[in-house]
Amino acid sequence: MIDSHCHLDHEPLFNNIDDILKRSKEVGIEKLLTICTTLDSFTKIKLLVKKDEIIYGTFGIHPHEAKKDKVTSKLIIKEISENNKIIGIGETGLDFYYNFSDKEDQIKSFEEHIKASIELDIPLIIHSRNAEDQMLEIFNKYKKNNLKILMHCFTGSKKFADSLLKLNAYFSASGIITFKNSTDLQETFKSIPLEKTLIETDSPYLAPVPNRGKKNEPSFVKYTAEKLANIKEISTSELIQKTTSNFNKLFS
């Protein structure tokens, strides 16, 4: 299995990384992608990728941090080019859920990440919330560049998913698909082609059933894999094999 999105730099994961790694390997995880959200976050990620061969990282600024941590495509390219275990850009994107006043900062930051992704030809890890129309507008602006898009913790509409599939996007399922009230999302993932699907924890957040309410960790990705296999009406082993293959193809 591969946990395509976790935050090993966040507590309680960072200070318990040896135990986290042990439990991850015990359930069969072969790669962990720890995701950057701030400039300070990246300082820890550079340490984490040296900790164990299964840990890889990204560089990027979360949309909520776009006003505080301003980056250019040049800086993003520099930071990623200096470390061969930094394999993605993000998490970046748009989040207008709280009616943020920093929409322009978010959009500018997002486009700088996109430009770096085009230059380096590596995937964008996308955070999208209450911004479907704006997200598509920006993606379509760059669609001739054959963007590599991974929609992290996807919770969008089926209509949004269909539009993103036309852009060759991948979609990562989190523990949210195990929640009782996620029937619409489950139906959306049922409609997304298996070859465009990944799994993640977003740990230490969003622990799946049966651990909902606890601090999440990468080893819990097995519960998301089991639920997604059920949704797709295939065996868990086939789901794991396919999502692992999809990750390796996307991050080749």
Give the pair of three-digit tokens for residue 119.
């230059």
Bridge partners for 92 per DSSP: 126
Give the pair of three-digit tokens for residue 1.
């299995």
Q: Which residues of 31-51 are buried (b: 16+ CB within 10 A; e: fewer)?
A: bbbbbbbbbebbebbbebbee
| Residues ≥6 apart with Cβ < 8 Å to 19 | none
pLDDT at 62 over 80: yes
What is the pLDDT confidence band of residue 98, given thresholds at 50, 70 and 90? confident
Mean pLDDT of the chain: 96
Helix boundaries (H) for 56-182: 73-81, 103-120, 132-141, 158-165
10 Å Cβ neighbour count for 241? 13
pLDDT at 235 over 70: yes
| Residues ≥6 apart with Cβ < 8 Å to 57 | 33, 34, 35, 36, 42, 45, 46, 48, 49, 83, 85, 86, 87
pLDDT of residue 19: 98
What is the pLDDT confidence band of residue 141, given thresholds at 50, 70 and 90? very high
For residue 200, cis peptide bond before it (omega within 30 degrees of 0): no
What is the Rg, in whole angstroms, of the alpha carbon atoms belonging to the chain? 17
pLDDT, tens only, 162-217: 999 999 999 999 999 999 999 999 999 999 999 999 999 999 999 999 999 999 99
User: Residue 88 in 3-state DSSP?
Assistant: strand
From the list 180, 182, 224, 190, the residue with the least C-alpha distance to 205 is: 224
In the chain, what are the domain boundaries? 2-250
Tell me the mean pLDDT in the region 223-239: 98
- The span from the CA of 172 to the CA of 95, in Å, is 17
What is the pLDDT confidence band of residue 57, given thresholds at 50, 70 and 90? very high
User: Residue 104 in 3-state DSSP?
Assistant: helix
pLDDT of residue 102: 86
pLDDT, tens only, 108-128: 999 999 999 999 999 999 999
- Does the pTM surpass 0.75? The reply is yes
| CATH topology (fold) of 2-250 | TIM Barrel (3.20.20)
Question: Is residue 18 exposed (0-12), middle (13-18) or buried (19+ Cβ within 10 Å)?
Answer: exposed
pLDDT of residue 100: 65
pLDDT of residue 250: 98
pLDDT at 10 over 80: yes
